[in-house]
Amino acid sequence: MKTLGTLSHHSSTTGSPGPALFAMALGGLAIGTTEFASMGLLPAFAADLGATVPQAGTAISAYALGVVVGAPVLAVLGARWPRKHLVLALAGALALTNIASAFAPTFGTFVATRFLAGLPHGAYFGTASVLAASLVPRERRPRAIATVMSGLMIANVVGVPIATWLGQAAGWPAAYLATGAIAVVTMAAVWWLVPDVRDTRRGSVLGELSALRRGQVWITMAVIATGFGGSFAVYSYITPVLTEVSGLAEAAVPVALAVFGIGMTLGNQVGGRLAEIAPVHTIAAGLGAAAVSMTVFALTASSVVMALTALFSLAFTTTATTPALATRLMDAGREGPTLGVALHHAAFNVSNALGAALGGVVLAAGWGWTSPAAVATVLPLLGLAALYVAVRMERAEQHREPALTG
């Protein structure tokens, strides 16, 4: 963690980190809006572009695949860039690709633009998170990361409902144009408010790639990929579940999405504080509670009140694990902290693709709208199993280090 220590010392002259963290969180608002609004608009763009609802799920999976590919590739290629400059470039790419999504003439083209829109996602959060961590004392890193990530969560309270409403009122392309506009605003805010913190030890491609040699990085990614998959299996098809099973009017779907977003926002903030106290217990409790929430949702979705309660709980408990997992990957990556955090979002979107695909399979099989939640309950339990392995590996490494230095 020498790199981060150097950055933190240098940043002590930059004043309060609040405005800078806010500026970078705006990028999270744009990313969260484009990622999650696609799920709420899925029936609309499916109908307009000539695809079925299960087929339209491939657009969500394409975005997720873009994140998986872009997170490590762009984080490594940008290793020698000043982090502020890389954040600006990634926000610009986010603006351009979302505008391209709005003008896609066919479903195939739309899927391709969604893949491109996913490329800057993970690298943006990886770079912004490491830059945020450099602006605060070491013990405050989880909370700084949670602040940057809060844009992603707030998107589900403000950005996604507004984008969904806008898509219903003015056509689904309007939602992607609005997201592109948010990304442009992000560029302006980052330019004016984020200090140009330079690392005295320049990053390198080999330094970032060194994160991939560490087993703790891979097993933590497995925790994320499986642990979050159940949430995406539910959320990817949330609009038809609420309208067909719960009996919610289509016009009220943005309200339900806002409930989910409030759960994410609160979970992220609470998780940021808990991660400073008991990170492993925070992850374990969040994953276990997520499995329970999905079970409740599958069993009670016919009731609007119960469905919304279970959705809030699922969002809160799953997202509460995020700051602890991101910090864990940053530490596990050591000389490659940007790649470490970027891989958090790669794994997160593996879970996105996994959940959407699993949901599409059981729906296509005719198992009913609540079947994705029922079947995917096993995913956070697999995440718990992976966390157990990670902790065992960590303890074994700690026991070996004194022997090696003794």
* Residue 223 confidence (pLDDT): 94
User: Residue 154 is encoded by which pair of tokens?
Assistant: 């707030």
351 vs 167: CA distance, rounded Å: 26
Question: For the whole model, what pTM was predicted?
Answer: 0.75
Give the C-alpha separation, 36 to 160, whole Å.
6
pLDDT at residue number 200 = 53
2-395 carries CATH number 1.20.1250.20: yes
pLDDT of residue 8: 39
pLDDT the model gives residue 113: 95
Q: Check: CB of residue 261 under 8 Å from CB of residue 154.
A: yes
Place of tokens 């998780």: 271
The pLDDT of residue 13 is 38
First to last CA, the chain: 22
Alpha carbon distance 120, 386 (integer Å):
27
User: What 3-state DSSP class applies to 151?
Assistant: helix
Give pLDDT, residue 204: 61
pLDDT in tens, the chain (406 residues): 333 443 433 433 346 888 999 999 999 999 989 987 887 788 888 888 888 877 888 888 888 788 888 888 888 888 788 889 999 999 999 999 999 999 999 999 999 999 999 999 988 988 898 899 888 888 888 888 889 988 888 887 888 888 888 888 899 999 999 999 999 999 999 999 998 876 655 556 776 777 777 888 899 999 999 988 989 899 888 888 999 999 999 888 878 888 888 898 899 999 999 998 999 999 999 999 999 999 999 999 999 999 999 999 999 999 999 999 988 888 876 667 777 778 887 888 788 778 888 888 999 899 999 999 998 899 999 999 999 999 998 888 777 655 544 4
Predicted pLDDT of residue 270: 94
Q: Which residues contact 124 (CB under 8 A, 6 or more apart)?
A: 27, 31, 87, 90, 91, 94
Alpha helices in 197-321 (DSSP H): 205-209, 215-227, 229-235, 238-240, 253-274, 279-300, 304-319
Q: Write down the pLDDT at residue 168.
A: 84
pLDDT of residue 202: 53
Q: What 3-state DSSP class applies to 183? A: helix
pLDDT digits (tens, 9 = 90+) for 166-203: 888 899 999 999 999 999 999 999 999 998 876 655 55
- 311 neighbors 256 (Cβ within 8 angstroms): yes
Nearest to 186 by CA among 84, 288, 303: 84
pLDDT digits (tens, 9 = 90+) for 338-380: 777 788 878 887 887 788 888 889 998 999 999 999 988 999 9
Domain ranges across the chain: 2-395
